[in-house]
């Protein structure tokens, strides 16, 4: 019996522990969920501790502003009633303690002390503000940089499925808008709201009538403002963001596709689309500009109503009491008006730019590595590349693009891969380059399976020349030594790559030689020159394997023959260099030792 009772007790304890753990897990998940769906949940963990310090400085600034305002009260007393010097116990004690003998010198000393205090307060405020400012801009740098990294690290599928203009806007504009148009307004609201509360409490302690009058006037004005514009400001921000995205896309596509747009007389349509977007932006901007004037309108009307009520209520009061009450209300209104306007304006900005939180939250920046993988380690490629039962299916497809593909490429071979358009040749290349992960089968490099863990090593070992070679808007040298700082470029390797890619004659013809600029996307080059720069880039990298993806498909026969001759010369110069070429034209594969045919999956 005893054992049984103990067993039951143990079971109850275990059940209670389990319930407690389940509750803790549920509470934690609920907290995390709420954090993720709040603005503050977007702030990366490394910035949250410093964020608490910033919150403290915001509150401290509000307190300093309150104390600075309170420092004006002695001057107000002296202006409105000079008898306060001797009738007020505090002023009289200071007067006697410091040994003043006339009222004029005392007033001058009090005024000087007030000015000195305000100067010190402003200097401290400036220092605190700089701390807040540095936090905001360091957060902007972190968000923008990591969003840039995040988009890149999502891989080729994401990049191809997205619009580059939209991604560029998100990285360059949205992150800044978030910190400047959401976080800073939140800080303003916190600071001004605290100042408002402190002022209201202080006024209430001194004069409940003035405090009640202030609340009756300004709180309904603020509530009416928020009620009227809350939903429309949200809508304005969303509409403006969509229009900006459309405009970015339109401009980028217009300049990128100039030739086709001009030949097909498509610019009028592009211009109409641009006009529609910019008209929407202007229309929303006008409405938002109008809304931004409402805080001043509402607060000024409230002030006028308050002054009228004060004058009405003051009938019958003693003149000195009236002056003091009127002065307190005036000083309070002088500081409360800007506070209320700032709160209203900051709240409007926060609502208008609220769309940025969804964009940044979607990136899950807090889960990302601080920097990308910059390892320079290479594969020691010695024997073969083996593709074994390789299959791949895109996420939005109901059939395999590649199915059960197998072959082996030995070191030093020149292998062509051919097939009809849509057969999956480029997808096969992207798998071999490590851009995609197989949905079936595997790729082995000297018996080691190609995976996420060794992808960087493999990509450091290979060179890639595509149909449209990527070229930056810089010099020939910068494009050959892509990714290298100019001071770290090995010029001997560059010169050797230039000669092997048969670029010497072209470079010598340029006004600044290898330091000549080539325009955006190599606009100042011919197709063959672009391909040769791509080859020189791979050679500068000392790649063990060269991948050519339809590299000559857009070239004329003579240029294609020249590129093929260059590839043949490379193979002869380095017997261990492995060359893999994708093409659908037989002439592009003439230099290959053998070909592999990729058949379209049905």
Per-residue pLDDT tens for 370-389? Answer: 454 566 788 888 899 999 99
Per-residue pLDDT tens for 200-221? Answer: 787 777 777 767 777 777 677 7
Q: Which residues contact 429 (CB under 8 A, 6 or more apart)?
A: 417, 547, 549, 580, 582
Q: How far apart are CA 595 and CA 550, in angstroms?
A: 14
The angle that helices 208-256 and 319-352 make with each other, rounded to 10 degrees, is: 20
pLDDT at 2 over 50: no
How far is CA 595 from its chain centroid? 46
What does the mean pLDDT of the chain come to? 76
> Mean pLDDT, to the nearest integer, of 83-102?
69
What are the angstrom distances between the C-alpha of 583 and each of 42, 62, 167, 443? Answer: 47, 69, 32, 21
Per-residue pLDDT tens for 227-259? Answer: 777 667 777 778 888 888 888 788 877 776 666
296 vs 501: which has the higher pLDDT: 501
Q: Which residues contact 7 (CB under 8 A, 6 or more apart)?
A: none
Per CATH, which fold does 384-597 belong to? Answer: Rossmann fold (3.40.50)
Q: Is the dihedral of CA 394, 398, 402, 406 positive or negative?
A: positive
Q: Domain spanning 38-367 has what CATH number?
A: 1.20.1560.10
What are the angstrom distances between the C-alpha of 180 and each of 61, 185, 197, 356, 364? Answer: 19, 7, 25, 11, 20
pLDDT band at residue 442, thresholds of 50, 70 and 90? very high
Q: How far apart are CA 251 and CA 567, in angstroms?
A: 38
> Mean pLDDT, to the nearest integer, of 451-470?
85
Helix (H, G, I), strand (E, B) or coil at 412: coil
Helices (H), 154-207: 156-161, 164-169, 175-178, 184-206
Segment holding 390, helix H or strand E: strand 384-392
Q: Tell me the whole-structure pTM to 2 decimals.
A: 0.69
Per-residue pLDDT tens for 354-373? Answer: 888 888 887 766 555 445 45
């Amino acid at each position: 019996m005893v054992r049984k009772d103990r067993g039951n007790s143990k079971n109850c304890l275990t059940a209670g522990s389990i319930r407690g753990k389940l509750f803790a897990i549920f509470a934690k998940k609920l907290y995390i969920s709420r954090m993720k769906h709040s603005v503050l949940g977007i702030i990366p963990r490394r910035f949250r501790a410093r964020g608490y310090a910033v919150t403290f400085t915001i509150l401290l600034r509000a307190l300093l502003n309150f104390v600075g305002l309170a420092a004006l009260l002695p001057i107000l007393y002296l202006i409105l009633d000079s008898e306060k010097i001797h009738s007020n116990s505090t002023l009289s004690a200071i007067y006697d303690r410091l040994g003043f003998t006339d009222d004029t010198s005392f007033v001058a000393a009090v005024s000087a002390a007030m000015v000195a205090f305000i100067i010190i307060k402003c200097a401290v405020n400036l220092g605190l503000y700089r701390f807040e400012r540095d936090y905001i801009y360091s957060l902007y740098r972190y968000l923008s940089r990591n969003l840039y990294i995040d988009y890149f690290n999502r891989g080729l599928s994401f990049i191809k499925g997205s619009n580059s203009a939209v991604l560029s806007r998100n990285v360059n504009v949205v992150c800044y808008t978030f910190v400047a148009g959401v976080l800073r307004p939140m800080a303003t609201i916190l600071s001004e709201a605290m100042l408002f509360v402190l002022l209201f409490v202080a006024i209430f302690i001194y004069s409940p009538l003035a405090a009640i009058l202030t609340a009756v006037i300004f709180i309904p004005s603020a509530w009416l403002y928020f009620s009227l514009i809350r939903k429309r400001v949200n809508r304005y921000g969303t509409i403006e963001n969509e229009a900006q995205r459309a405009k970015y896309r339109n401009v980028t596509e217009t300049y990128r596709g100039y030739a086709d747009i001009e030949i097909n007389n498509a610019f009028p349509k592009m211009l109409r689309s641009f006009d529609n977007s910019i008209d929407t932006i202007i229309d929303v901007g006008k409405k938002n500009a109008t809304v931004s004037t409402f805080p001043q309108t509402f607060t000024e009307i409230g002030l006028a109503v308050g002054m009228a009520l004060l004058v009405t209520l003051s009938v019958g009061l003693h003149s000195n009491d009236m002056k003091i009450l009127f002065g307190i209300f005036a000083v309070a209104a002088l500081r409360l008006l800007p506070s209320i306007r700032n709160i209203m304006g900051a709240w409007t900005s926060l609502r208008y730019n609220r769309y940025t939180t969804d964009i940044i939250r979607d990136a899950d920046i807090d889960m990302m590595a601080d920097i990308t993988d910059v390892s320079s380690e290479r594969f020691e490629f010695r024997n073969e590349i083996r593709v074994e039962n390789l299959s791949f299916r895109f996420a939005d497809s109901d059939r395999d693009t590649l199915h059960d593909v197998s072959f082996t490429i030995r070191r030093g071979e020149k292998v062509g891969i051919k097939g009809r358009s849509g057969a999956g040749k480029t997808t096969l290349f992207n798998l071999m380059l490590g851009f995609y992960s197989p949905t079936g089968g595997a790729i082995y490099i000297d018996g080691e399976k190609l995976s996420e863990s060794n992808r960087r090593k493999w990509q450091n070992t290979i060179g890639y020349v595509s149909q449209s070679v990527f070229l930056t808007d810089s010099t020939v040298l910068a494009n050959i030594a892509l990714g290298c700082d100019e001071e770290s470029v090995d010029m001997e390797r560059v010169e050797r790559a230039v000669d092997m890619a048969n670029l010497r004659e072209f470079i010598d013809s340029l006004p600044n030689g290898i330091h000549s600029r080539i325009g955006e996307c190599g606009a100042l080059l011919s197709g063959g020159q672009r391909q040769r720069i791509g080859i020189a880039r791979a050679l500068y990298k000392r790649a063990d394997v060269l991948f050519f993806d339809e590299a000559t498909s857009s070239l004329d026969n003579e240029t294609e023959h020249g590129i093929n001759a260059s590839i043949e010369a490379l193979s002869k110069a380095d017997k261990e260099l492995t060359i893999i070429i994708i093409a659908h034209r037989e002439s592009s594969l003439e230099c290959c030792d053998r070909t592999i045919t990729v058949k379209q999956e049905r």
